Amino acid sequence: MVLRIFATIFLSHLLVSCDSRLSDEGQTNQNKPFYEPWGVDLEARNEAVNPGDDFFGYANGNWIANNQIPSDRSRHGVWLDLRERVEKRLLDIIQDLENSNAQKGSSEQKIADYYRSWMNSERLNELGLTPLYEDIKRIRSISSLEGLASEFGRQYLISGGSPFYAHVSLNPLKPDQYQLHLGLSGLGLPDRDYYLEEDEIFETIRYDYISHIRNLLEVAGADSPEKNADLVFKLEAKIAQIQWPRAQRRDRDRTNNPISLESLKLDFPDFNWDMFLSGIGVDFIEELNLNQPDTITPLIALVRDQPIETWRNYLVFHLIMNNASILSDKIDKLNFDFRKTLTGQQKQLPRWKRGIDRVGARYGLGELLGKIYVERHFPSSSKKQMEDLVENLRKAFRNRIETITWMSEETKQEAYKKLSSFEPKIGYPEKWLDLNAIEIDESDLFGNARRIQAYFEHRDIEKLDKPADKDEWFMTAHNVNAYYMASFNQIVFPAGILESPFFDPFADPAVNYGAIGAVIGHEMGHGFDDQGSKYDSRGVKRDWWRSDDRKNFENQTFQLQKQYDNFEVLSGQYIDGAFTLGENIGDLGGLEIAFEAYQISIRGERDRVLDGLTGKQRFFLAWAQAWRGESREEFLVRQLKSDPHSPSMYRVNGVVRNISAWYDAFDISEADQLYLPEDERVSIW
């Protein structure tokens, strides 16, 4: 997906605009480009910067110089500006619903009352830690390894923490079935490197994290909070030592290890799997998948060797930390104070913005809110135009595969089959999720959150007995993002992203191909990146490559990996080329495919020059401005360690330097810093 940290970043946080034009709703309703006169923000450029030295700085330098990161953000930029526009629309919808006197049990009532319960901080302050008392009491009563195993499983119903994770996902070998995936989890910091690296940056973070553990244990009334905070941290550090490095964790071959439940119990007999699965809510399964199999034995040994008291404190700490946002202002602030250390964000977002995020989340009431959003803000004409663009990109991709010299015709036939089988899903789901079973009470935020969580957890468990649902969306319709689903061979573009400046019906074609066209190409490219290429046209994980073709492909991707390994983002902090490889392949291939599609679209026409810029130049400028943004150093560290996307500057500069058409467009020469000799330029797709 374009912004998979979603997982983590883009799905969780809405980032405010500092460009007033992006906050002007009226602009989007006029029959002219968002950025007049033809779609690129000419004022954002810094023409004093040589494009061949820093194309990102050339395209965005003035904007970055004139727009400081707001104190309540860890970064800002064009993607996040569009999110704020969407966010304001969602607020308008909710406020309308609050005034509508909606019928109890209706979607409108659920949305309005969930938001009301969030905004009632006075009630939360009265309750303090009370909503968690029952959970804390149960955790403190644990006296055996069996009780510990059961509680580890229960954490998914109470937003706690566990050294094991278990989630329901598709079976990569049989994508028409769901499967339980089991692996190592349990860290409170973003990645194992935060525990293991000796750099001063991480020493400071570790010190602050131990203080954070102590503060939350004090809130819970724990004995000797300082001593126990240190023990909890040391426990997590031992888990970090067992965990695989991040690049290995994204390897679909390494993480695909199906095993029967019977064999799991025989191979790892020193942990009570029945109690763990019962805690999750799984009564019976025949088979599951072990994502990191060689970590299970040392992790079980750690569970058995550590005092149960340390595990109890670990569970209480994670329970409070993960639920802090739906507790009192005091507890919420303690959590945010540590967040500053990880992201550099100085102020908490206004409560209403965080409320929109919670209510509109996929595992919130996002399905209900997204349906109303689409009805109000997504025209059918946009869906049709996107369908046409997708088909243009599909044709361009096939053209490029046909001209590849390193791939045999036998493997190309499989690639054509996969490409033709891509299923585009645009705007919104054809079938909306039914959330009637969820009860929402305007005076009970904690209860609302628990009932929503229980609904989705039970729904996932029930999938184990059902065939895969290819109609399901894994993002809300109002999300400013996109994704590729390997097991369904689907490319998905929610309504939220299908707006200017990414998709602008009134912009110059070069701009649309360079922005949303490259996003489409990026998602298509994921079907053929280092991991997506391990799945065939039906979404089955199997090797459809001739061995020599696969070797040629991996030689190409390794060259790209080495390029990114050499990018030093901060002093001593480099991009992990192996970890970011899939996204970098998506960026490079996506932009090349989009350029091919643009060239096809203007074939036979004279190249128009607008404001002194050729079509090629406008195309590449649109790509560079699609990634316009800036991040705080703390956030960049977190991104480098936990996000498979490269920072914005390198999604621009790291890509264009491999594309010969960019050299031609801007007269790049050997004297320029981004210059690569032709034989060092990587062109995979």
- Long-range CB pairs of 62-65, under 8 A, 24+ apart, other chains included: 63/19, 63/628, 64/628, 64/630
| pLDDT of 658 over the 70 cut | yes
- Answer yes or no: is 106 within a domain: no
Q: Residues for the chain: how many in total?
A: 685
Cα 200 to chain center, whole Å?
Answer: 28
Neighbours of 362 (CB within 10 A): 17
Fill in the amino acid letter for 9.
I
Percentage of the residues of the chain whose pLDDT score is greater than 70: 96
Residue numbers of the domain that contains 265: 145-157+164-304
Peptide bond connecting 37 to the previous residue in cis, omega within 30 degrees of 0 = yes
Arithmetic mean of pLDDT, 333-356: 97
239 φψ region: left (φ > 0), alpha (ψ -120 to 50), beta (else): alpha
Q: How many CB atoms lie within 10 A of CB 318?
A: 23
**Residue whose token pair is 């507890």:** 331
What is the structure's pLDDT at 501?
Answer: 82
**For residue 324, is it within any domain?**
no
388 shares a domain with 297: no
Residues 291 and 412 in one domain: no
Give Dmax (Cα) for the chain.
Answer: 79
Please say if the pLDDT value at position 15 is more than 70.
no
Residue 159 has, within 13 A of its CA and on its CB side, a CA count of 20
- E strands, 185-331, in order: 258-260, 287-290
Residue 30 pLDDT class (50, 70, 90 cuts): low
Type of residue at 91: L
Are residue 62 and residue 191 in the same domain, yes or no?
no
DSSP 471-511: T--SS-TT-S--EEETTTTEEEEEGGGSSTTTS-TTS-HHH
Instruction: Among 304, 331, 349, identify where a domain stops.
Output: 304
Which pLDDT score is estimated for 21? Answer: 34
Q: Are 335 and 318 in contact (CB under 8 A)?
A: no
Structural domain includes residue 333: no
| Claim to verify: residue 178 and residue 45 sit in the same structural domain | no
> How far apart are the C-alpha atoms of 399 and 404, rounded to whole Å?
9
For residue 47, give the 3-state DSSP assignment. Answer: coil
Q: What is the pTM of this model?
A: 0.93
Residue 487 CA to residue 181 CA, distance in Å, equals 15
**Which residues are bridge partners to 176 per DSSP?**
none
What phi, psi does 495 have (nearest 5°)?
Answer: -60, -35
Q: Give the residues across from 238 on adjacent strands.
A: none
**The pLDDT of residue 621 is above 60:** yes
The CA distance from 592 to 658, in Å, is 10
What sign does the CA torsion over 96, 98, 103, 109 have? positive
Q: What share of the chain is helix, strand, coil (3-state, %, to 5)?
A: 55, 10, 35
Q: Where are the beta strands (DSSP E) in 195-341?
A: 258-260, 287-290
Query: Are 275 and 389 members of one domain?
Result: no
Q: Are strands 258-260 and 287-290 parallel, antiparallel or unpaired?
A: antiparallel
Its sign, for the CA torsion 235, 237, 239, 241, is negative
How many other β-carbons are positioned within 10 Å of the β-carbon of residue 425? Answer: 20
Query: Shortest CA distance to 579 belongs to which of 249, 314, 354, 334?
Result: 249
288 and 179 belong to one structural domain: yes
604/481: higher pLDDT: 481
Which of 259, 289, 304 is where one domain is finished?
304
d(CA 456, CA 326) in angstroms, rounded, equals 18
Q: Can you read off the two tokens belonging to residue 36?
A: 């007049």
284 and 194 fall within a common domain: yes
Residues 389, 500 share a domain: yes
Please indicate, yes or no, if residue 439 is contained in any of the structural domains. Answer: no
Ranges 20-24, 96-100, 369-373: which has the least confidence: 20-24
Q: Which residue has the tokens 């209480």?
A: 316
Domain boundary among 272, 289, 304: 304
pLDDT at 474 over 60: yes
In a domain, 646, yes or no: yes
- Looking at the domain assignment, is residue 339 inside a domain? no
Q: Are residues 278 and 410 in the same domain?
A: no
Q: For the chain, what is the domain count? A: 2
Q: Taking the CB of residue 231, how many other CB atoms lie within 10 A of it? A: 17
For 629, phi and psi rounded to 5 degrees? Answer: 170, 170
Q: What are phi and psi of 562, to 5 degrees?
A: -65, -40
Q: pLDDT at residue 173 above 90?
A: yes
Which helix (H) or strand (E) segment is 264 a member of? helix 261-267
Q: Token pair 């908490």 is at which residue?
A: 348
> pLDDT tens for residues 527-565?
999 999 999 999 999 999 999 999 999 999 999 999 999
Question: Alpha-carbon distance 585 to 579, whole Å?
Answer: 12
In a shared domain, residues 528 and 633: yes
CATH code: domain of residue 60: 3.40.390.10
The answer to whether residue 421 sits within a structural domain is yes
Q: Are residues 554 and 419 in the same domain?
A: yes
CB-CB neighbours of 202 under 10 Å: 18
Contact 328, 124 (CB under 8 A): yes
- State how far the alpha carbon of 83 is from the alpha carbons of 142, 196, 321, 612, 682, in Å: 44, 35, 26, 32, 33
Q: Give yes or no for residue 8 having a pLDDT over 50.
A: no
- Rounded mean pLDDT of the chain? 93
Beta strands 568-570 and 287-290, pairing class:
unpaired
Q: Answer whether residue 670 is part of any domain.
A: yes
Is 23 a residue whose pLDDT tops 60?
no
Instruction: Sort 547 into a burial class: Cβ within 10 Å, 0-12 / 13-18 / 19+.
Output: exposed
The CA distance from 288 to 279, in Å, is 16
CATH number of the CATH domain containing 278: 1.10.1380.10
Encoded tokens for 468: 């895969």
Q: State how far the Cα of 298 lies from the Cα of 241, in Å rounded to an integer.
A: 10
Shared domain for 474 and 587, answered yes or no, is: yes
Between CA 82 and CA 91 the distance in angstroms is 14
Distance, in Å, from the CA atom of 358 to the CA atom of 178, rounded to the nearest integer, reads 27
pLDDT score of 183 more than 80: yes
Structure token pair of residue 425: 């899903």
Q: What is the pLDDT of residues 255-270, one digit of tens each?
A: 999 999 999 999 999 9
